[in-house]
A and B are shown apart, each in its own frame.
Chain A
Amino acid sequence: MAPVEPWERIFIDVEIYQEDIHSQINCTTCHNGTSVDDMEEAHTNLVPDPAKDPVKGCGNCHPDISPHAAESLHLTLEGYDTAVYQRSIPEHFDRIEYMEQYHCQDCHATCGDCHVAQPDSVGGGLLEGHAFVETPPMTRTCTACHGSRVQNEYFGKNEGIPPDVHFRARMACVDCHSGAEMHGIDMDNNHRYDGEESPTCQSCHQDQVGVGSGNPWHEAHGTEVLSCQVCHSTTYTNCVNCHVEQNEENIPFYSVEDHYLGFYIGKNHLQGLERPYAYVPLRHVPVDKEAYSYYGEESSYGENLLPNFDNRPTWLYATPHNIQLHTPQTESCEACHGNDAFFLTPDDIPAEEVAANEDVMVEVAPPLPEGETNIYRDDVAPDGTAPAEGDSGDDASGDDAFWGDGASEDDSPETETDEDEAFWGDDSAPSTEEADTSTEDEAFWGDQPDDNEAEDTGTTQQSDEDFWGG
């Protein structure tokens, strides 16, 4: 993301803003405060983000959106409550809520965070001189928050792993995630993976999947045994734990102490009508037994706040955003069947978390069913020129052989999808964040209109602010 000067963040570009219908509304109608030539007085009782309460702030004129958005996961963060409460007991809920007030405020996504200004977590800053931007620019809104997981996967920033095929086809987040989904319209879910699956891969690839597609891989499994990501996604970030703390000045923060790349197929603990898959990729989420217990002296949030830690797996249903046509686990049927390296087995799980993950792990990788013949993918020769099965797996370095030395895809995937040697092409895509943007690309990349520096597109904010990615 472009480093934005502090003044620029609050600079209203009259040229642009006057074209916007909202400029007819008085500032104070939305922001409170008083219109006087004295900053302190003007800012008294100011409401920096009028959309914190979307019904009050925008509901008069956007009644079809605001009440739904007010209940959306983006605004309520109910997904976190669901995950945390399930591991806790009602007696602790108010302590947890208290903790969340300190640690989670910045990540609530308001209307303004998608349409008017960059999120607080990256320091705010008006997107286009206070214009209300209809299509949220990807890197300055979505991936500013969804940084460490989705962004790194999608843009190919995890070392050695190419960007998502859809990214290479120049699709932005909103090409799959509609306004209606973002506004929580017709959604009554208390967690990301609650309720109808949306968006779905099938909605765009219907003819290419399942029985009747003519693709032996798809034919063998239909569309309900495996989620698409089991075969089409690859190594992703797993977080070890997360602790909330406060510094000497009582400023709250969190830290995720460790993370690693890996790929783990396991059982789907959400299996049901909406997500029928027996197997899905699982991601270790940043939680451990002591996650919310406090470390310092004064402001303990409480001891043992997650007494029911074992009620919910720590390895959870995941939809990694690094879809590839070809992946290491699909080099042959038996690259996956019978190969523990790609599955979540007890060996992968620390002893204190085994109980929580009983329902999702497998003792051994399921063998190829009897009567089935192992085949190799068309681009992989069965005579050993293909990377050996044992080479790949959750050992991230093993992927290098497959993806080819950190090299990666360029912006025109068509050119090499069926080339076998130069697997991911010969250029340097993990650093394609700097997809040198010509001006017409700016809407896609979400650059500022007056920004002529190309190298900021992929955000430099890799680490800190990325807590809520994914």
Chain B
Amino acid sequence: MRARYSAWLLIVVGIALVVGAALVSCTPDRSAPELSDAEMESADSLESAVSDEPTEAPPDIVTVDMDLIEPFTDQECLDCHSNQTLLIEITPEEEETESLSEGPG
């Protein structure tokens, strides 16, 4: 008899736990605090600091990290344009049309 009673107790407690857990998981999460007005304002001012006019970078500063440049793969371009013998062979002779214009200006 005693054993039966404790078995019931276990089942009830078990169900209560499961239901409780389910209920807890359904409650809306109120953990994120409402942002105060002051905080909203500072967020606004953060945004407005980014103007349409880019701030002028001091001269000589290159803003792109060269390591981010993709690795060089255009080997065919380079091979041809650095092959003197080949270039001599295939470069057409100059046409004389370069400048018809005459006289100083």
In contact, A239 and B99 (Cβ under 8 angstroms): no
| C-alpha gap A121/B99 in the complex (Å) | 7
| C-alpha gap A29/B99 in the complex (Å) | 31
Q: Decide: A465 near B101, CB < 8 A? Known: A24-B69, A26-B72.
A: yes
| C-alpha gap A393/B87 in the complex (Å) | 54
Mark out the residues of chain A between 23 and 41 whose CB falls within 8 Å of any chain B CB in the assembled complex. 23-29, 31, 33, 35-37, 39
Hey, which chain A residues are within 8 Å of B79, CB to CB? 37
In contact, A10 and B91 (Cβ under 8 angstroms): yes
Q: Does B104 reach chain A (CB closer than 8 Å)?
A: yes
Q: Decide: A26 near B61, CB < 8 A? Known: A12-B78, A149-B104, A286-B105.
A: no
In contact, B69 and A237 (Cβ under 8 angstroms): no
Q: Does B58 reach chain A (CB closer than 8 Å)?
A: yes
In contact, B105 and A242 (Cβ under 8 angstroms): yes
Hey, which chain B residues are within 8 Å of A14, CB to CB? 78, 82
Mark out the residues of chain A between 222 and 264 whose CB falls within 8 Å of any chain B CB in the assembled complex. 237, 239, 242, 247, 251, 253-259
Q: Does B77 reach chain A (CB closer than 8 Å)?
A: yes
Contact bitstring A447-470, B, C-beta under 8 A = 1, else 0: 000000000000000011111111
Segment at the interface with B among A57-65, A87-95, A189-197: A57-65
Distance (whole angstroms) from the CB of A179 to the closest CB of chain B: 9
Q: Does B94 reach chain A (CB closer than 8 Å)?
A: yes
Q: Does B64 reach chain A (CB closer than 8 Å)?
A: yes
Q: Decide: A64 near B59, CB < 8 A? Known: A26-B72, A121-B99.
A: yes
Q: Does B44 reach chain A (CB closer than 8 Å)?
A: no
In contact, A463 and B103 (Cβ under 8 angstroms): yes
In contact, A251 and B75 (Cβ under 8 angstroms): no
Q: Does A98 reach chain B (CB closer than 8 Å)?
A: no
Hey, which chain B residues are within 8 Å of A367, CB to CB? none
Q: Does B24 reach chain A (CB closer than 8 Å)?
A: no
In contact, B103 and A257 (Cβ under 8 angstroms): yes
Query: Chain A interface residue count: which class?
Result: 35 or more
Q: Which of B62, B78, B84 contacts A61 (CB 8 A)?
A: B62
Tell me the interface secondary structure of chain B in the complex: loop
Q: Decide: A61 near B64, CB < 8 A? Known: A28-B77, A251-B97, A464-B99.
A: yes
Distance (whole angstroms) from the CB of A353 to the closest CB of chain B: 18
Q: Does B90 reach chain A (CB closer than 8 Å)?
A: yes
Hey, which chain B residues are within 8 Å of A148, CB to CB? 103-105
Q: Decide: A467 near B104, CB < 8 A? Known: A11-B81, A21-B66, A26-B72.
A: yes
In contact, B72 and A24 (Cβ under 8 angstroms): yes
Q: Which of B64, B78, B88, B102 contacts A255 (CB 8 A)?
A: B102
Hey, which chain A residues are within 8 Å of B29, CB to CB? none
| C-alpha gap A63/B60 in the complex (Å) | 10
| C-alpha gap A239/B54 in the complex (Å) | 44
In contact, B88 and A7 (Cβ under 8 angstroms): yes
Hey, which chain A residues are within 8 Å of B87, CB to CB? 7, 10-11
Q: Which of B59, B66, B69, B78 contacts A27 (CB 8 A)?
A: B78
Q: Does A369 reach chain B (CB closer than 8 Å)?
A: no
| C-alpha gap A357/B78 in the complex (Å) | 56
Contact bitstring A48-68, B, C-beta under 8 A = 1, else 0: 000000000000111111000
Hey, which chain B residues are within 8 Å of A6, CB to CB? 91-94
Q: Does A123 reach chain B (CB closer than 8 Å)?
A: yes
Known A6-B92, A14-B78; 20 more pairs at CB < 8 Å? A6-B91, A7-B87, A11-B82, A11-B84, A12-B78, A26-B70, A35-B73, A64-B60, A149-B104, A257-B103, A259-B103, A286-B103, A463-B102, A463-B104, A464-B102, A465-B101, A466-B104, A466-B105, A469-B105, A470-B105
Residues of A within 8 A of B (CB): 5-7, 10-14, 21, 23-29, 31, 33, 35-37, 39, 42, 60-65, 121, 123, 130, 147-149, 152, 237, 239, 242, 247, 251, 253-259, 286, 463-470
